[in-house]
A and B are shown apart, each in its own frame.
Chain A
Amino acid sequence: MVAMDAILEMRGITKEFPGVKALDNVNLVVKRGEIRALCGENGAGKSTLMKVLSGVYPHGSYDGEILYKGKPMAFRKITDSEEQGIVIIHQELALVPHMSIAENIFLGNEIAKNGVIDRHETNRRTAELLAKVGLRESPETKVGELGMGKQQLIEIAKALSKKVELLILDEPTSSLNEHDSAALLRLLDSFREQGMTAIMISHKLNEISEVCDSLTVLRDGATVSHHQGMVPESQIIKDMVGRSMDDRYPPREPKIGEVIMQVRDWTVAEEGGDGRLLVDNAKFDLKRGEVLGIAGLMGAGRTELAMSMFGRSVGVFRKGSVKINGKDADLSTVSKAIKAGLAYVTEDRKSLGLVLEDSIRRNIPLANLAGVARYGVIDHHKEGKVAQDYRKAINIRAPSIDQATMNLSGGNQQKVVLAKWLFSEPEILILDEPTRGIDVGAKYEIYTIIRDLAAAGKSIIVISSEMPELLGITDRIIVMNEGRLVGEMPTSEATQERIMSVIIKSGHDLTEEDITPEEIEAETAHV
């Protein structure tokens, strides 16, 4: 039975990846003409669900059924769903910067006769579409010359060109400023009045309450709750994070020593573009033997903070200083940062951490080749011994150290990257999403390694989007949002709700009134 006014009904959707159940019996009913919000933590399964709906994951690769306008659908590719009027706009825009607005809008769907593109008709239709989304630009303007807000509008115009009836937006305002966000939300509002249905994935609860009619919360790949109309934010937050904390973390007795690192005024701007600040006046201390967590949503600037400190590997350095053991540290190149005692274990082990076709043995010494060489000549036997030792010490499960790292599981790859950085003998380890995409058992092993390192007097910074993980293994948590440190708390006083509300409040404060950074600091100081 389909509800009378439902345009979309997804029933019992289950999607598995090797080793992970990304979606577990998810149900979603969307009414015609409403804007439905989809909320959840990173990795809750929101994007996966939308990929199932739009045919990115073809019919047959998941269980469950999709009813659209009352009829069962079996999309095999994106164009199948687009033919039915379901269009998805991804978080990362899919526009070709060197092409004009008109060329982008009709890319893959060109207005042509016998393969010859009709430029005038294309431009005419583009102008119409641009008028609908309220963008005053020539159809021949190159997309790369426009800001993010305008590009987002072009994506929407592109969706309109496909006769969209159900528009899916994946965090549409995440890279927009306040003004553009507000304009976009107004546009969605006007589309609703014309009868369009939309699903909006968002973290920003204020935006949700502004435009959405109803709300679905996903957690760990399952639907937790559906709400109609206004819902208290506290309820939404609780639904988003409400996991039980069991003994998924090794017990630990922190032995925290003196301050080892002091970061002051750390400011980094985006490369190119309009120089948006990725990290804005970051200031924090790290103590010996301490595990410091950095919480925040995706794009909050946590990775940028870490990588900019590690040899200015991201963005453009504006200002700031780092003292290690009371002395100014030169972190201007990666090798200097390593010498200063830093190590950064990347969140993206495949593209930034490993030489995938190389063996475990060859990957481990890469950040400290001098450690296995004399006068620039590598001692293969020492290298083999180092690899064997780490394989045993942190339990890298592989048939041999000559195994190519591309053939290892995610957890074992992560351990190889970890071994590489342990071998560089750092004082301060920055672990960026150290347990992303690895199974529960391997997670526990990684937590144990972190605990043992801290016990051995190393200082550790853990960046994680999994709040239970931060609560389970850290001593202190700082919270980042939009490039700024917006809160700090001892882990003993932290809860997921509290972290989430710090993030959300920090977003609110900026939208509602212009608060100076000093005021935020003053506010967060008493939090």
Chain B
Amino acid sequence: MVAHSLAAAKRLRKELQNLQRHKDEDDDICLIPDSDNVLKWAALIRGPKDTPYEGGVFHLSIVCGTEYPLAPPTMTFVTKVFHPNVHFRTGDICLDILKKEWSPAWGLQAACRAILALLSAPDADSPLNCDAGNMIRGGDDIAFQSMARMYTVENANFLRWPTKEDREEALAS
């Protein structure tokens, strides 16, 4: 019988192995496991091209419960970001696949990819940041773009994108 209480750790170790095998791919996402706790991770993602987030490096915190992967991981922006679907103060993310459309078919890497897609395609109709949502809904794209750009420059320019060696070291734990 499978010890399901250990399933989360087992699955995350598997995901880690996959990351180690494919560490040269997906250059816009860098997942970093916590060396003491397999349920805790950090991720760095690179702001997508042709968005106000371009050039920024954003830090995400990831916490998996023991019900992972049946239940979604809790993912939040640590780096401040101006985006309709990210809470400006708490960094909470409103994304259906992190809530009721989550399924174990996703994983940490895929969830990060979905967050990148969210940065490229904000959904102004379910805003956590009403100011950002209103700018887009009101058709004032210039205002939204310049605010988002300003916060990217102000907050997301401090982290260096990890080199290949950095990544290898982070995943080696």
**Chain A partners chain B:** no
